[in-house]
Structure 1
């Protein structure tokens, strides 16, 4: 099989640190997800120090040609303005490209409350499952 930019190995991508983990999440891939879409799981706390790691990982995916990011946030305990900024920067980059999108699914009640209070839900699609998140994003 020929190597394509969409072939992504979790050993190459995953970041596992005590404060924040960023992982490929094949267990939550909805049916019909196209080749240029990927599911990522975030675990831990997204703050000033860890947000940069998340941004690097998201942009790594965009640089490889992925246009749709579905982000599993069920294991995120905390997110601050730096983390919200990463979602906004990712969304902005996709808008500039003229295609694609980012959606989160399964946010904890605490994260969901922050998304609502900051009005980020108006920019970033939020679903309860990966299938629902993909339905909100799919072209």
Structure 2
């Protein structure tokens, strides 16, 4: 199971593109790559999940932690490019009510 994480950190805006599967094996790599960035003051983090084919509860936990960290440092956090399946995962857990989420049709990296 592979994951690719491409990060662009430009002037307090962190754009992340994730490709592959987010599960118990790959979530630690995602967490290690993004948590230090989430602790920047006033950071704006946008994570593009367009090319994520699978995510389990471990992945959800990473995104909840990132969301909390970004917000604790007065930043903004957004997930974009969610497939219908991933969107449903966030809807069922209630996370779609607290995290800014856009589907494939609603947006890409600006």
User: How would you bin the TM-score normalised by the shorter chain?
Assistant: 0.7 to 0.9
RMSD (Å), alpha carbons: 2.2
Report how many aligned residue pairs link the two structures. 107
Matches of 1:36 and 1:101 in 2, distance apart? 10
TM-score by length of 1: 0.68
Establish whether residue 19 from structure 1 lines up as the match of residue 19 from structure 2: no
Matches of 2:92 and 2:12 in 1, distance apart? 31
Structure index of larger Rg:
1
* Cα 1:44/1:66, change in 2 over 3 Å: farther
Establish whether residue 81 from structure 1 lines up as the match of residue 67 from structure 2: no
Return 5+ residue gaps in structure 2 as ranges: none
Q: 3-state SS of the aligned residue for 1:76?
A: strand
Return 5+ residue gaps in structure 1 as ranges: 1-17, 27-33, 135-139
Are 2:41 and 2:75, in contact at CA under 8 Å, matched by a contact in 1? no
Partner of 1:10: none
Are 1:87 and 1:124, in contact at CA under 8 Å, matched by a contact in 2? no
Q: 3-state SS of the aligned residue for 1:23?
A: strand
Please report how far the alpha carbon of residue 25 of structure 1 lies from its aligned counterpart in structure 2 after TM superposition.
Answer: 5.8
Deviations 1:99-127 (A, max 9, x none): 00211111112111111111111221012
